[in-house]
Amino acid sequence: MPFNTVLTRKLGIRVPVVQGGMQWVGYAELASAVSNAGGLGLLTALTQPTPEDLRKEIRRCRTMTKYPFGVNLTLLPSLVPPDYAAYAQVIIDEGIKIVETAGNNPGPVIQQLKKAGIIILHKCTTIRHAKSAVKLGVDFLSIDGFECAGHVGEHDITNFILLSRARQELGVPFIASGGFADGQGLAAALALGAEGINMGTRFMSTVEAPIHHNIKQAIVDAQETDTALVMRRWTNTTRLFKNKVTEEALKVERESKTDDFSVMAPHVSGKRGREVFINGDKDFGVWTAGQVIGLIHDIPTCAVLLERIEKEALEAVSRTRSLYNDVPASKL
Ligand SMILES: Cc1cc2nc3c(=O)[nH]c(=O)nc-3n(C[C@H](O)[C@H](O)[C@H](O)COP(=O)(O)O)c2cc1C
């Protein structure tokens, strides 16, 4: 077991790699494959229409892995919010040991889960939000840089700055999220003070990700310049895969005479985005991907991916060591 970080120790995993929550992707097939491969797989609670469906999905995942896996619970602004407390209760009842929380106003849910002794990994894009989460007693932070897929926040701070700020300021173990796909990235994150990494987009392009092959291939074919930032005008900036629909959405965002979100809503429909993963037409709706698409060139199994990441990280560390002249072993 080459890695020994707070994350691997506390979660009982071999490789310090978490598969971040992913709406319409984070089902049992992927979460169990990541956990079986030595990382931490996460089910995404809101891919399940009701808390009872989440219970079934947790049970299904248990039949697919004997290793620990967690659940992501994302709190997003919504006119009719899901019953977060009921989802959290199912997570507690089903004996899940770790939850990734993300989004707005996570206090009540974190409190509910912490009371049950659950380890909380809270994901955020600013040091200010990270500090608020520390006050809520979270166990780990997942620091999501501007490179990341999905909600990037409004400050556009990339991980080179954000991770070092986390190291300087937080005093709570953190993992690095956004822009990671390989072991060189893992080694860099560990060097910057992180206890591991979180990956989203990279796991979409794996054999076990339960999405259409065309979308995995679209990620392989894409470059780091193929994402677009949409919805800044509504302070809800989201990084999406660049396609026909994001071009239309950006045009509406630029040219609309009104700030009324109803002009934008049809262009960023989550329903059509979900359909993309099923029908394999990358231009059917908007879907999320990070700048890391430029680093993804294949569709491996999760086991092959994590083995490769493990090996590359070790090679990167020994390469770095070899760049120091005559350092006595006692000083290393
Ligand atoms: C398709 C997709 C859906 C996502 N959905 C969610 C979500 O529902 N909740 C959440 O907290 N993060 C979500 N994310 C973000 C990931 O958990 C992770 O933080 C992000 O992908 C990290 O950046 P990376 O893609 O560069 O690895 C999603 C990411 C992708 C690619």
What is the full DSSP assignment across 113-155?
HHHTT-EEEEEESSHHHHHHHHHTT-SEEEEE-TTSSEE--SS
The protein residue with its alpha carbon nearest to ligand 1, atom 7, reads 22
The yes-or-no verdict on residue 325 having pLDDT over 90 is: no
The yes-or-no verdict on residue 326 having pLDDT over 70 is: yes
pLDDT at 207: 98
The protein residue with its alpha carbon nearest to ligand 1, atom 4, reads 22
The yes-or-no verdict on residue 330 having pLDDT over 80 is: no
- The one-letter code for the residue type at 281 is D
Band (pLDDT 50/70/90 cuts) for residue 331 is low
Distance, in Å, from the CA atom of 237 to the CA atom of 157, rounded to the nearest integer, reads: 13
- pLDDT mean over 87-94: 98
Task: Quote the percentage of the chain above a pLDDT of 90.
Answer: 92
For the beta sheet containing 174-177, the strands, ordered from the edge strand earlier in sequence to the opposite edge, are 17-19, 197-199, 174-177, 140-144, 119-124, 98-103, 69-75, 41-44
Ligand 1 atom with the shortest distance to the CA of 25: 1
* Lowest pLDDT segment from 121-130, 189-198, 275-284, 322-331: 322-331
Task: Quote the percentage of the chain above a pLDDT of 70.
Answer: 98
pLDDT at 119: 98
20 Cα–ligand 1 center, Å? 6
Band (pLDDT 50/70/90 cuts) for residue 80 is confident
The protein residue with its alpha carbon nearest to ligand 1, atom 20, reads 200
CATH code assigned to 6-212+298-322: 3.20.20.70
- Strand, coil or helix: 320: helix
Indicate the domain borders of the chain: 6-212+298-322, 213-291
Q: What is the pLDDT of residues 254-271, one digit of tens each?
A: 999 999 999 999 999 889
Band (pLDDT 50/70/90 cuts) for residue 289 is very high
Ligand 1 atom with the shortest distance to the CA of 277: 1
Distance, in Å, from the CA atom of 30 to the CA atom of 133, rounded to the nearest integer, reads: 28
Mean pLDDT estimate for the chain: 96
Predicted model pTM: 0.96
Cβ neighbours around 80 below 10 Å, total: 4
184 Cα–ligand 1 center, Å? 21
The yes-or-no verdict on residue 79 having pLDDT over 80 is: no
The protein residue with its alpha carbon nearest to ligand 1, atom 1, reads 288
Q: What is the pLDDT of residues 164-197, one digit of tens each?
A: 999 999 999 999 999 999 999 999 999 999 999 9
Q: What is the pLDDT of residues 268-286, one digit of tens each?
A: 988 999 999 999 999 999 9
pLDDT at 152: 96
| Cα-to-chain-centroid distance, residue 296 | 16
3-state helix, strand, coil in the chain (%, to 5): 45, 15, 40
The protein residue with its alpha carbon nearest to ligand 1, atom 2, reads 22
- Strand, coil or helix: 290: coil
Band (pLDDT 50/70/90 cuts) for residue 1 is low
pLDDT at 24: 97
